[in-house]
Structure 1
């Protein structure tokens, strides 16, 4: 009898439930969307009941439409959005909406921590800078602004941890999501008493830390009725979405590296020890795989910048695509292909929403630089992809200072274009491998984590049986050479405009 693993990927726009067989075959998936509240400029919240409804709906749909016997599901496991703050009571009921990763309201709380600890010391404890993105700063904001909520809080949870609580009645988080709370001792995989003291929060409000493969409990009768899962089905914690993606992309041993190109994008490798950058441009996550770390650099707008360009500048290509029922990217790529390396001198800075790695500059802006009267549309089009890729190459080069990286897997929607993939190989000066399944890395990583957790798989090496390589791109030596001066100018351009961007942000 075939056994299955149900993986839930609780993202920002919705939950994706994916069913995998024990042999690694993707059986089916369902998505349920939910809303995000954006207000007061930098405040971003979601209703956790929407997460639960999405998990219930997609679980039921998968089981019913695929005619799966619920008792054949060996485990449920999770990948989830990180860096959130959801306050719940002793029964696991939300006390307010969740303050999610994108929220930046906790600036005063960042300053409170900085009174006691430098950015550099904080970075070397947590693996991340002290910013308003992380959970502990958000919890401090609740304490300072909603004391009645803070006082009633039994535990503060991330998205997947809330669903685990709903399914099992138990309160846990794994090391990767614990890391995203910003008060985590990365080397010792424990809560950091020093940062908790400086933050002035109650440690007992933090959930118990466990490995990602930990079985948090079985599905309760009430949860079974809501989801269609069999009562008692093992629930495996799983990990934060960025880290489960490392498993799904095969980054499960030192030096194994991948690049994910979605709305945002990142480069992540695996290492035996945290990687600390002298300029604190990259971060290090606790890996889902025991004993490993996931050094990483994430940029804000990658595919998002490309999509913005398509929607605002490429209206002609979009119109032509509508007439012929094809993709506007086909017309864009035709012009990019006819444009030489370096876009005839045009450089694009892809900082449409400020920037995380490698700049960590909320004031950074997007810009086209070097335009001349002889430039054509294709030059501007190609510069967009080159700018995104050169920004990611800075992250890759930082990681290369401590890890030997000669090839990497590329996943995500941006990996669909062969032209862009070859550009990555040339700018990264690395072999780029492309799996057959491009957009299931987080789900697949969660599924493998669940399988390891219940003993269905011996270890994480099974992911090598899941991943099928569809194509490879090797660097063109001439293009690699031509890109070197362009990469330097790209970097110089940001620093030349940094103060200008800061002034523009005050306008």
Structure 2
């Protein structure tokens, strides 16, 4: 009998057990899971954190701080003496596209640059003049963007040349943590793919991009298949992990798809956490690969096709704090659409897919003295939904067999009413995956595929399926048209600003454009 996807007591848990760690944008989480993928009750822990951000595009976090958080989580979840040596594996996912320069002893020379750090925007523009971006994308599955390593390394070489020269290795956050805890910077295939350097077909680092970055391949970890754990000497601090294998670090995007039940090319996952994405898991490389999307190699035989969105939960949280919204925001999301709702480009920390304008910032149009906080919030949420739709439009030709959109993540769980807006904008049914910590669950399931391949897994927990409402189709079609026009105008201004001389005065660049209804 297949178990249900509910928490289980330790006494009822099925062996082998795994510890799954999930390092996201707002917290480090972890917990014990049994062989069916169920969470073990009472053996879960969370430590909150936040990125350090600044108006210049800075978005960083202290890697030593996060390493300490992982230690705290392991203390909490692996400290129960009743565990004995039942834990057979320790697996970890992290937010993708992180970068840390370390010295020969593995000490951090830089903070951890997160995916949202956009200070390398000028380096992106220069690289687009030097390289054939279409050819780069066909090889690596990634565009030239501030989220990836080559422009960041260029920027570091220009702004911190001493640090750049001293760096013996360039690690992701997960590699840094594993090196600290077990002495091995184990990087899974997906972790290396999110650097923007990995060939999506061969699994090797791209020579042209390494040359453009000014670094050699020896400064990066070799990608390891996620099903191949290492067996280091476990830290004495955690006796329960004495017999555990330690799995290569994977990205949260890969784990999220697995945890949401999107295991093949028929299910499209809408991740709705602090950042978001639309992703579908494919056998082999995507062909054709739309220019607005990425296609990451995640294992020896699978790739992930999709596009990422920087600001989803971040946009909601910003609105809640800045606009001082009342806690009861569900009626705002459930209300019929209104022409009085502002049109919002919700790029608080830059755009990734499909336009890849790293320096993009949020724009509000159609705001008048009659616009209240609720209307602004509704506009932000509609704008977020339209960013998903722009990715979906690009994705369809490469993955036409999709029959389901599965939405998982904090925003969907906290504000499920927004999924009706998403269904209306996409014009497709959206199923709510209600299982909290779907990403952490996916990390556990991937480890269990290696440790207990024949054990039946508990099915994902789902809630309502939201059907698109025909009576609102015309409204959102017009909204999407206006959104596209506004976006093109915004990008044109961005490009014009970049052509201004470095010493131009404050009036030389075009002022932010104003949309007119």
TM-score, shorter chain, exceeding 0.5: yes
Is 1:430 matched up with 2:443? no
The structure 2 residue matched to 1:472, chosen from 465, 471, 482, is: 465
Q: Report the CA distance between 1:169 and its aligned residue.
A: 2.4
The structure 1 residue matched to 2:228, chosen from 210, 214, 217, is: 214
Q: Structure 1 residues 483 and 112, CA, compared in 2 at 3 Å: closer, same or farther?
A: closer
Specify the SS of the correspondent of 1:425: helix
Q: Provide the residue aligned with 2:61 in structure 1.
A: 46
Specify the SS of the correspondent of 2:406: strand
Separation in 2, partners of 1:307, 1:26 = 27
> Relative to structure 2, which stretch is displaced further, 235-244 or 107-116?
107-116
Separation in 1, partners of 2:31, 2:226 = 18
Q: Provide the residue aligned with 1:303 in structure 2.
A: 313
Specify the SS of the correspondent of 1:270: strand
Separation in 1, partners of 2:161, 2:360 = 35
Q: Deviations over 1:56-101 (max 9, x none)?
A: 111011123x554251111000101222222334553434433333
Q: RMSD value over aligned CA atoms?
A: 3.0
Q: Provide the residue aligned with 1:322 in structure 2.
A: none
Q: Structure 1 residues 5 and 487, CA, compared in 2 at 3 Å: closer, same or farther?
A: same
| Map 1:94-243 → 2, pairs under 5 A | 94-107=108-121, 109-110=123-124, 113-114=127-128, 116-143=130-157, 146=160, 149-150=163-164, 152-220=166-234, 223-225=235-237, 227-243=238-254
> Are the aligned partners of 1:238 and 1:244 in contact in 2 as well (CA < 8 Å)?
no
Is 1:57 matched up with 2:72? yes
Specify the SS of the correspondent of 2:291: coil
Q: Deviations over 1:312-333 (max 9, x none)?
A: 33x3x53xxxxxxxxx1x2x32
Q: Structure 1 residues 176 and 352, CA, compared in 2 at 3 Å: closer, same or farther?
A: same
Separation in 2, partners of 1:296, 1:397 = 11
Specify the SS of the correspondent of 1:401: helix
> Relative to structure 2, which stretch is displaced further, 255-264 or 163-172?
163-172
Q: Structure 1 residues 345 and 161, CA, compared in 2 at 3 Å: closer, same or farther?
A: closer
Is 1:369 matched up with 2:365? yes
Is 1:6 matched up with 2:4? no
Separation in 2, partners of 1:335, 1:374 = 16
Specify the SS of the correspondent of 1:208: coil
> Relative to structure 2, which stretch is displaced further, 31-40 or 491-500?
31-40
Separation in 2, partners of 1:362, 1:89 = 29
Q: Structure 1 residues 485 and 34, CA, compared in 2 at 3 Å: closer, same or farther?
A: closer
Separation in 1, partners of 2:173, 2:477 = 42
Is 1:446 matched up with 2:439? no
Separation in 2, partners of 1:371, 1:108 = 31
Q: Structure 1 residues 380 and 52, CA, compared in 2 at 3 Å: closer, same or farther?
A: closer
Q: Provide the residue aligned with 2:406 in structure 1.
A: 409
Q: Structure 1 residues 39 and 70, CA, compared in 2 at 3 Å: closer, same or farther?
A: farther
Q: Structure 1 residues 347 and 104, CA, compared in 2 at 3 Å: closer, same or farther?
A: closer
Q: Provide the residue aligned with 2:281 in structure 1.
A: 270
Q: Report the CA distance between 1:234 and its aligned residue.
A: 0.7
Separation in 2, partners of 1:300, 1:441 = 19
Separation in 1, partners of 2:368, 2:107 = 59
- Structure 2 residue runs of 5 or longer lacking an equivalent are 1-13, 498-509
Specify the SS of the correspondent of 2:146: coil
Q: Deviations over 1:15-48 (max 9, x none)?
A: 2112211122212421224564446823444332
Q: Report the CA distance between 1:199 and its aligned residue.
A: 2.7
Q: Provide the residue aligned with 1:92 in structure 2.
A: 106
TM-score (norm 1): 0.85
TM-score (norm 2): 0.83
Q: Report the CA distance between 1:205 and its aligned residue.
A: 1.2
Count of aligned positions: 482
Separation in 2, partners of 1:362, 1:171 = 29
Separation in 1, partners of 2:147, 2:274 = 18
Separation in 2, partners of 1:340, 1:114 = 43
Is 1:252 matched up with 2:279? no
Q: Structure 1 residues 451 and 154, CA, compared in 2 at 3 Å: closer, same or farther?
A: farther
Separation in 2, partners of 1:68, 1:139 = 47
Q: Provide the residue aligned with 1:352 in structure 2.
A: 348
Is 1:385 matched up with 2:381? yes
Q: Report the CA distance between 1:150 and its aligned residue.
A: 4.6
> Are the aligned partners of 1:415 and 1:421 in contact in 2 as well (CA < 8 Å)?
yes
Q: Deviations over 1:279-338 (max 9, x none)?
A: 7322222235x422111212222222223223233x3x53xxxxxxxxx1x2x322443x
> Are the aligned partners of 1:249 and 1:411 in contact in 2 as well (CA < 8 Å)?
yes
